[in-house]
Amino acid sequence: MQIYHPSLPLRFASSKHSTLSTLYAVLRTTTSPSTLRLYSIFGPPGTSGEMTSPSSGDNNNKRKATDEPISPPPVRRKVQSSISKDAVANFFSPKQQQKQQQQQGPKNAGTEIVWTERAAADDGSPTTLLVGRFVPEAQKELGTDGPQTARRKIAAFDLDSTLIVTQSGKKFSNDPGDWRWWHPNVPSRLQALYNNESYRIVIFSNQAGLKLHPGPGGGNSKGPKAPAAAARAKVDAFKKKCAAVLRDLGVPTTVYAATERDRYRKPRTGMWAEVCADYGIPEADVDLEHSVFVGDAGGRVERRSAPAAAPKDFSCSDRNFAHNLGVPYATPEEFFLRDPPREFAREFDLAEYPYADGEEGGAPLFEKKEEQDIVLFCGPPGSGKSTFFWKHLEPLSYERVNQDTLKTRAKCLKAASAFLDDGRSIVVDNTNPDEAGRAEWIELAKRHDVPIRCVWFQTPRAICEHNNAVRAISKSLNPEARSAVPPIAFNGYFSRFRQPTIKEGLQHVLPVKFKFRGTKEEYAIWGQYYI
């Protein structure tokens, strides 16, 4: 069986369906495209009108035991009649009456999306989450889609390149009418999930290009009134596009659009918490095993060989989002087309950094060997320098000199000299990526006649960026309330980095590899994906 596509004519298996063919011709002039897509083409006699997936029967698409779980395959069901009483009555009604019904517009044309905005914190911060809830009039009248309705399974989807793509072929488009379904069977699959399988349908979309508060003092951007007006127009266009998509889909759906890099942005789980609150479902009561998240950012590697070449994914954020939620993940190809899973790779894999219960055995990571000395840290932002100081050096009575708190290198050198004059040992808790920066501290050690050694933090950049995001999101893991470091800081460090050596005048270089060191409760926060 084939699924109807608007560009293809409807065909019937035999002449005894000629009456249905005539009826379809009439319905095609009186029924919206979204309804027509629900009509399936009748197969040969004896098939009972069963609808099958486009890829059903393909043995090459069978999943392996080692494949990651994805949404359960659609159950083979008999097609329910899509011909309503109104459509049949219209078939036998006068042409003038049919014309009047055509002028009423497409299905759900009078149904509006209710839009709201939400802030990531209750501290007066500007709103950053855009939420649009769509409920067709039929469900409103019957009261079948309120929060009290028991739907514990959630089918969640990314929007762009998962449910829809641009009609024009452009990567991005601000035209609210420039869209089409990612595949013709997308709407029918979502309708079946809602109508036949009792799923709650939601859409999660990262929309960093939208600014809810543009202009001076708005919190999102700076600039004159013209850019602010353009930003508002972009938000309006997004709303109109979502309205068109959801009306065409025709089942209750809520779209959540994260516009900033806060707790709402995938793979962070803020939008999921909003869904549970909106529908009155305690997070612990969600049927995670049978829920699913579908998105195109799965970290798939480039494929150059058969069956078809395919580029690598731009990120792994959708797969990581599903990991954080604890629900099965699928790409659009796997979910809608039953394609076999492709190879994927994460830049940073949490599985390589499991929680280690208890204290580390063996010798301590750091020992004080001199009565007075300087310990010079070398490592990128987010590499664990400050945590290492508080855990290992502060108990040994080292004084900390940190440019984040003192603001300038000159003030750091001045404070360090004062501590050394007072007979104290110091830790220089800065990044110190190159020889030129380290040379100032080596010269200071010579002037005060104290040894200087270096602790070199060999933390990969991906983990540093992860730690930076965790620190910005979690107050408990950010006791100093430091702001997130911008990407330019990481670029600057790694472009200037030169490995520290004793040839520079250092007495010793101690390499430290990254390992999460904290409580189980802290790891529950750290051990999620944030970027």
Q: Which two tokens stand for residue 304?
A: 């150059």
Interior angle at CA 171, CA 162 and CA 321, nearest 5? 40
Tell which of 102, 126, 141 closes a domain: 102
Q: What is the largest CA-CA distance in the chain?
A: 104
Alpha helices in 218-269 (DSSP H): 225-249
The model carries a pTM of: 0.75
Is 415 found in the same domain as 347?
no
Is 449 found in the same domain as 330?
no
Tell which of 54, 72, 102 closes a domain: 102
Is 109 part of any domain?
no
Is 71 found in the same domain as 191?
no
Is 229 found in the same domain as 301?
yes
Is 308 part of any domain?
yes
Question: Which among 206, 222, 214 is positioned nearest to 127, based on CA atoms?
Answer: 214
Is 173 found in the same domain as 262?
yes
Question: Which among 353, 348, 381 is positioned nearest to 471, based on CA atoms?
Answer: 381
Is 45 found in the same domain as 155?
no
Is 362 part of any domain?
no
Q: What is the DSSP letter of 531?
A: -
> What distance in Å separates the CA atoms of residue 435 and residue 501, rounded to the nearest whole number?
9
**Integer angstrom CA distances of residue 437 from 385, 399, 430:** 17, 20, 10
Question: Which among 414, 418, 319, 427 is positioned nearest to 368, based on CA atoms?
Answer: 427
> What distance in Å separates the CA atoms of residue 281 and residue 278, rounded to the nearest whole number?
8
Is 266 found in the same domain as 149?
yes
Q: Which two tokens stand for residue 149?
A: 């309705």
Strand partners, 254: 133, 202
Is 465 found in the same domain as 438?
yes
Per-residue pLDDT of the chain (531 residues; tens, 9 = 90+): 444 333 333 333 333 344 444 444 444 444 444 333 333 322 333 333 333 333 333 333 333 333 444 444 433 333 333 334 443 333 333 444 333 333 334 555 556 899 999 999 888 999 999 999 999 877 765 556 666 567 999 999 999 999 999 999 998 888 999 999 999 999 999 999 999 999 999 999 999 999 999 865 444 544 455 688 999 999 999 999 999 999 999 999 999 999 999 999 999 999 999 999 999 999 999 999 999 999 999 999 999 886 788 999 999 999 999 999 999 999 999 999 999 999 999 999 999 999 987 655 567 889 999 999 999 999 999 999 999 999 999 999 999 999 989 999 999 999 999 999 999 999 999 999 999 999 999 999 999 999 999 999 999 999 999 999 999 888 889 888 888 899 999 999 999 999 999 999 999 999 999 999 889 999 999 999 999
Phi then psi for 445, rounded to 5 degrees? -65, -40
210 exposure class (CB count in 10 Å sphere: 0-12, 13-18, 19+): buried
Question: Which among 244, 296, 252 is positioned nearest to 275, based on CA atoms?
Answer: 252
DSSP assignment of 341-355, as one string?
A: PPPB--SS-GGGS--
Alpha helices in 366-518 (DSSP H): 385-388, 403-406, 409-421, 435-448, 461-473, 487-496
Is 359 part of any domain?
no
Question: Which among 40, 45, 44 is positioned nearest to 5, based on CA atoms?
Answer: 40
10 Å Cβ neighbour count for 48? 9
Tell which of 102, 127, 155 closes a domain: 102
Q: Which two tokens stand for residue 203?
A: 């859409």
Domain count, the chain: 3
Is 154 found in the same domain as 72?
no
CATH number at residue 218: 3.40.50.1000
Is 238 found in the same domain as 122?
yes
Q: Domain containing 423: what range? A: 374-526
Is 369 part of any domain?
no
Is 394 found in the same domain as 246?
no
CATH number at residue 506: 3.40.50.300
